Each structure stands twice: as structure tokens, then as C-alpha cells.
């Protein structure tokens, strides 16, 4: 008989919605309260670093609430951005208050939008995948699910994958290299698909047309509230958001190596099995299993404590923007372990070359 625990609701996954709600409250109050979203992230970081590891499987039904929560965060992010637009339209905020709003928007949009959109883009249902594109439209990237699902998941940990950071590569360059690579992969895939169907590039049934429509509707709505004078701050906010998105992406496969054409195995992803990392990311931090079975629902993913491990997602994110700390304290010791205990013979040879290119002669 199935246990009652398997059918229970796991409310820990509301942490992203709670953070978004805190950010909404901060922007609604305005002024110095704009920093509330940043402080919420700092609190989550502190708690996740301090809490013990979490290697337990999730004994929870994959329907009902666990499905609903994936859709709840999109309207919260829309509200957050529209409040930001209203703040800019009023044009009475100090530089300090605007900085708080921009950072809160960037952190909360990434933390609240990337995990559920990632989960939904791997679903089979058409509505789930469309809803994923609504999330990524807020990032002005409504087609990037193509590059992720059909590109990254085939190329992961190889030199062909723009989403796998190279050893020694800083997050500041990776964030935009990865972004460009995913965009180009997505555009190329959709162009080839339409060509095979003998349809024009901007066919109404194609992703090019649909993406242009979604982005136009979103930008039109946002600038209707904010006014065109807000364009410079919008650009600054998007650049900051892309850095934040890249920062979280940076920690998933940094420095890992796979021979092109060889099977994807547990060792080709970093796991970050901390309680809030898992909850906030909808188990993206449980990454090894996700790459083995990409369509498996997030609560059904099996933790792999024996897989390559990194600390808390939030801690890794912050450290990534301080390259000496990231390399010397966080990742190089783990990569040394990976090279010695996880890599096969071919990967170990490639790792030696990668270390030389990075200037890591001691590894």
C-alpha cells in the first residue's frame, strides 16, 4: 500500500513565491524598501549555507500543488516588473533607491523565473511548454528552450556546449557567451525546422513570429507604464539580469569534461544538495539525475550524494563573481577531486589540457 507521505503536499517549494512576494511588497512601498528583495536573497543565502545538507528523496505526489506552484511565479514576476515600471514613471527615486529596485528585479526575476521555466520546458504538454516561453519572454528570450532542450542536453560538458563554462573562464564573459550561444542554437534549430516544412521564416505557426509577438506585447505593456524615458534603466536592468542568470547557470557544469559522443553520466553535472537550494531551484541543484532523465518531474528526481558536489547554489553564485574566491576556495579543489576520482582516462587527458589553458599548473 502506498504511504500517505507520498501523497502529501511539500510546501518547501513556495520559497520562490515568498521571495517574489517580499520583493513586490518592497517595490510597492518604494524608497529604501526597494532593497527588500535583495535582503530576502541574503537571508536565503545565509540560511542555506548554515543548514545541513539535504540528500533525502522527495516522497511527494507530483500532481496538484506541486504542479500549480510552477505556474504561480510568472504573474508574480509580471507584477514585480510593472511596479518597477511605475516607479520609473514617477521619476522621483534616488540613485540608491533605483539601485535597490534594479538589483531586486534582477535577483528575483532570475530566482523566480528560471527554475519553473526550466521545469516546464521539459514537459510533454503543449501548454506547459508555452507557459515556459511566457517566463522566458520576461527575459526577452522566448525561444531559448529550443537551445536548452535540444542543444545543451545533448552537448553538455563538451567543448560544443555554450552552457558549460571552461576552466578559468570568468562568469562575466560566460554569462554573455552562453546567452549568445543559446540564442544562436535556438534560431538555427527553428530556421531548419521551418525550412523542412517549406514554411517562411516568419510563418504564424513558427516560433520566430510567435516570439516576436510575445516580446512586442510584453515590451509594449511595460513601456506603456514606464514611458520611453525609462529605456536606459531598462537596458541596465536587463544587463544585470543576464549577469544574474549567467551566474546561476555558471555553477551547474563549470569545468566538467565529457568526450564528444560519449554517454552522459552522473559525473558530468555538479550537484548542490542543500535544502533551500533544492527548494528554490525546483531541484535544478539535483542536476545529475536531471541530465540522465530530463523529463522526470522535479519531485521525482533521485539525489546522488556520490556525484560531484558543490556547496549551496546561493553561495556558489556569490562566489562566482569574485573569481579568486570561486576558483581557489570553491571549485578548483573539487575539480582536482573530479579529475582524480571521477574522470575516465580520456577525460583526464582533456582535463590536463584544460588546466594548462586556464593557467592551473598545480592541478
Query: Could you give the count of Cα atoms lying within 13 Å of 303 in the half-sphere of its Cβ?
Result: 18
Q: Is the pLDDT of residue 335 over 50?
A: yes
Residues, the chain: 363
pLDDT on residue 9: 86
Mean pLDDT, residues 307-313:
91
Of the pLDDT bands very low, low, confident and very high (cuts 50, 70, 90), residue 5 is low
Task: State pLDDT tens for residues 291-303.
Answer: 999 999 999 998 9
Query: Residue 267: which region, alpha, beta or left (left: phi > 0; alpha: psi -120 to 50)?
Result: alpha
Quote the CA–CA distance of 228 and 230 in Å, as a whole number.
5
Q: What percent of the chain has pLDDT over 70?
A: 98
Confidence band, pLDDT 50/70/90 cuts, at residue 2: very low
Average pLDDT of span 40-53: 90
**Global pTM?**
0.93
Q: What is the mean pLDDT of the chain?
A: 93
Label residue 3 by pLDDT band (50, 70, 90): very low
pLDDT score of 96 more than 70: yes
Residue 105 Rama label (left phi>0; alpha psi -120 to 50; beta): alpha
SS (H, E, C) the chain: CCCHHHHCCCHHHHHHHHHHHHHHHHHHHCHHHHHHHHHHHHHHHHHHHHCCCCCCCCCCCCCCHHHHHHHHHHHHHHHHHHHHHHHHHHCCCCHHHHHHHHHHHHHHHHHHHHHHHHHHHCCCCHHHHHHHHHHHHCCCCCCHHHHHHHHHHHHCCCCCCCCCCCCCCCHHHHHHHHHHHHHHHHHHHHHHHHHHCCCCCCCCCCHHHHHHHHHHHHHHHHHHHHCHHHHHHHHHHHHHHHHHHHHHHHCCCCCCCCCCCCCCCHHHCCECCCHHHHHHCCCCCCHHHHHHCCCCCHHHCCCCCCCCECCCHHHHHHHHCCHHHHHHHHHHHHHHHHHHHCCCHHHHHHHHHHHHHHCCCCC
- Taking the C-alpha atoms of residue 208 and residue 132, their distance in angstroms, rounded to an integer, is 16
Confidence class for position 7, pLDDT limits 50, 70, 90: low
Give pLDDT, residue 63: 81
Q: Measure the CA–CA gap between 155 and 293, rounded to whole angstroms.
A: 15
pLDDT in tens, 347-362: 999 999 999 999 987 6
Confidence of residue 71 (pLDDT cuts 50, 70, 90): very high
Instruction: Tell me the pLDDT tens digit for each residue of 195-211.
Output: 999 999 999 989 999 99
Amino acid at each position: 500500500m502506498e504511504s500517505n507521505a507520498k501523497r502529501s503536499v511539500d510546501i518547501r517549494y513556495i520559497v520562490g513565491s515568498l521571495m517574489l512576494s517580499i520583493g513586490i511588497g518592497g517595490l510597492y512601498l518604494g524608497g529604501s524598501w526597494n532593497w527588500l528583495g535583495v535582503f530576502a536573497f541574503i537571508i536565503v543565502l545565509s540560511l542555506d549555507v548554515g543548514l545541513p545538507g539535504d540528500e533525502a528523496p522527495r516522497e511527494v505526489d507530483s500532481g496538484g500543488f506541486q504542479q500549480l506552484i510552477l505556474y504561480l511565479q510568472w504573474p508574480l514576476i509580471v507584477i514585480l516588473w510593472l511596479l518597477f515600471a511605475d516607479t520609473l514613471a514617477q521619476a522621483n527615486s534616488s540613485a540608491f533607491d533605483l539601485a535597490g529596485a534594479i538589483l531586486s528585479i534582477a535577483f528575483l526575476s532570475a530566482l523566480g523565473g528560471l527554475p519553473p521555466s526550466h521545469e516546464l520546458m521539459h514537459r510533454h504538454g503543449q501548454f506547459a511548454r508555452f507557459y515556459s516561453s511566457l517566463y522566458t519572454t520576461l527575459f526577452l528570450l522566448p525561444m531559448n528552450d529550443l537551445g536548452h532542450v535540444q542543444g545543451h542536453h545533448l552537448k553538455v560538458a563538451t567543448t560544443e556546449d555554450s552552457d558549460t563554462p571552461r576552466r578559468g573562464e570568468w562568469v562575466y564573459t560566460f554569462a554573455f557567451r552562453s546567452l549568445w550561444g543559446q540564442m544562436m542554437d535556438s534560431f538555427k534549430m527553428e530556421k531548419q525546422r521551418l525550412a523542412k516544412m517549406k514554411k517562411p521564416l516568419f510563418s504564424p505557426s513558427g516560433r520566430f513570429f510567435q516570439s516576436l509577438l510575445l516580446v512586442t506585447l510584453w515590451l509594449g505593456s511595460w513601456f506603456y507604464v514606464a514611458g520611453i524615458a525609462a529605456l536606459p534603466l531598462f537596458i541596465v536592468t536587463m544587463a544585470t539580469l543576464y549577469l544574474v542568470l549567467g551566474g546561476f547557470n555558471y555553477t551547474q557544469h563549470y569545468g566538467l569534461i565529457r568526450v564528444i559522443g560519449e554517454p552522459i553520466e552522473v559525473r558530468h553535472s555538479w550537484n548542490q544538495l542543500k535544502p533551500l537550494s533544492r527548494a528554490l531551484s525546483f531541484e535544478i541543484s539535483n542536476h545529475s539525475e536531471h541530465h540522465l532523465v530530463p523529463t522526470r518531474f522535479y519531485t521525482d528526481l533521485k539525489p546522488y550524494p556520490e556525484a560531484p558536489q558543490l556547496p549551496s547554489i546561493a553561495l556558489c553564485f556569490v562566489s562566482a563573481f569574485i573569481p579568486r574566491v570561486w576558483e581557489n576556495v570553491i571549485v578548483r579543489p573539487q575539480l582536482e577531486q573530479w579529475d582524480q576520482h571521477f574522470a575516465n582516462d580520456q577525460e583526464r587527458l582533456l582535463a590536463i589540457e584544460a588546466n594548462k589553458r586556464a593557467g592551473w599548473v598545480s592541478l
